[in-house]
Amino acid sequence: MRGFLVAGNWKMNGRNAVNEQLAGEIIAGMPHSDSVELLICPPYPYLASMAAKVDGTALALGAQNLSEFESGAHTGEIAPGMLLDVGCKYVIVGHSERRAMYGESNECVARKFAAASKAGLQPILCVGETLEDREAGRTEKVIESQLGAVLELVGIETFATAVLAYEPVWAIGTGKTASPDQAQDVHKHIRSILAAQDDNIASQVRILYGGSVNGSNADGLFAMTDIDGGLIGGASLKSADFLAIAAAAASQG
Ligand code: PEP
């Protein structure tokens, strides 16, 4: 039984007071369900204060990015061990915004994934195609090369403690969600890529869907066989919206 993970990617949003209120409301309203895990990923400067806030609760903490290096002369970078030190359990790796705006290649994402795993963090590996890719019929090929680069570097065993997120770039922050069937097709394909190497790991790994998920479309998406929760951007910034998505996951359990 895989269980659901509903992860909020706060991106570059929030300030102390807003974060305190948002996290407090999420903690107060989160479903008490063994089959649903809730996670927030605030910006770096707020990880320590949010770690204190979630301490003793079931709300998990994650970061949005990390360095592939362990320490040293990397001005402005954040090491995997630092994230662990301040209480992170998860870290998002290879978000499409980082790939597109900060030049992260498949190989760079793979090295970050490896660094996260080595440090004891659970990477949430984002993969997904652009609209151009989809229209050209390249969706599966793109996913295969994004996932393939990581598999090649770390091997299938590392996926036993990882999470995947299918995030079609055309659905992120656009209000256009993949239909449950469109998403399920890709999730099934992702699981089959992993199953070709290890059936057991493939059947246990959680694959999240991300891209304009909200309280109204979450039910349909989470009902699909291979969708194990969501990576939520915009709707994670309002507790009522995020909790509605969490409730949709809990109702599947
Ligand atoms: C995201 O950025 O990971 C995301 C899914 O954003 P949104 O929910 O706003 O589309």
Average pLDDT over residues 28-49: 97
- What is the distance between the alpha carbons of residues 221 and 178, in angstroms, rounded to a whole number? 9
Which positions ≥6 away from 28 have C-beta within 8 Å? none
pLDDT at 69 over 80: yes
Average pLDDT over residues 61-69: 98
Distance 231 CA to ligand 1 centre (A): 7
Q: What pLDDT, on the 0 to 100 scale, is given for residue 232?
A: 98
pLDDT at 190 over 80: yes
Q: Atom of ligand 1 at shortest distance to CA of 11? A: 2
The response to whether residue 65 sits with its C-beta less than 6 Å from ligand 1 reads no
CATH of the domain at 226: 3.20.20.70
Please, are residues 7 and 231 in contact by the beta-carbon 8 Å criterion? yes
Distance 234 CA to ligand 1 centre (A): 6
Instruction: Identify the residue whose C-alpha is closest to ligand 1 atom 8.
Output: 233
Record the pTM: 0.98
The response to whether residue 230 sits with its C-beta less than 6 Å from ligand 1 reads no
pLDDT at 253 over 90: no
* Residue-averaged pLDDT of the chain: 97
Q: Atom of ligand 1 at shortest distance to CA of 210? A: 5
The response to whether residue 9 sits with its C-beta less than 6 Å from ligand 1 reads yes
pLDDT interval class at 11 (50, 70, 90): very high
Largest alpha-carbon pair distance within the chain? 48
Catalytic residues: 95, 167
Percent of the chain with pLDDT over 90: 98
The response to whether residue 245 sits with its C-beta less than 6 Å from ligand 1 reads no
- The pLDDT tens digits for 89-121 are 999 999 999 999 999 999 999 999 999 999 999
- The pLDDT tens digits for 207-249 are 999 999 999 999 999 999 999 999 999 999 999 999 999 999 9
The response to whether residue 233 sits with its C-beta less than 6 Å from ligand 1 reads yes
- For a mutational test of ligand 1's pocket, the pick from 167, 177, 216, 237, i.e. the residue with the most ligand atoms closer than 8 A to its C-beta, is 167
The response to whether residue 62 sits with its C-beta less than 6 Å from ligand 1 reads no
pLDDT interval class at 1 (50, 70, 90): confident
Q: Atom of ligand 1 at shortest distance to CA of 235? A: 8
184: helix, strand or coil: helix
Average pLDDT over residues 127-148: 97
Q: What pLDDT, on the 0 to 100 scale, is given for residue 135?
A: 94
Distance 111 CA to ligand 1 centre (A): 23
The response to whether residue 211 sits with its C-beta less than 6 Å from ligand 1 reads yes
Show the domain range for 74: 4-252
Residue of 126, 128, 166, 170 whose CA lies nearest to 150: 126
Count the domains in the chain. 1
Torsion angle of the four alpha carbons 34, 213, 23, 97, in this order, in degrees rounded to the nearest 10:
120
Token pair 């770039």: residue? 169
Distance 211 CA to ligand 1 centre (A): 5
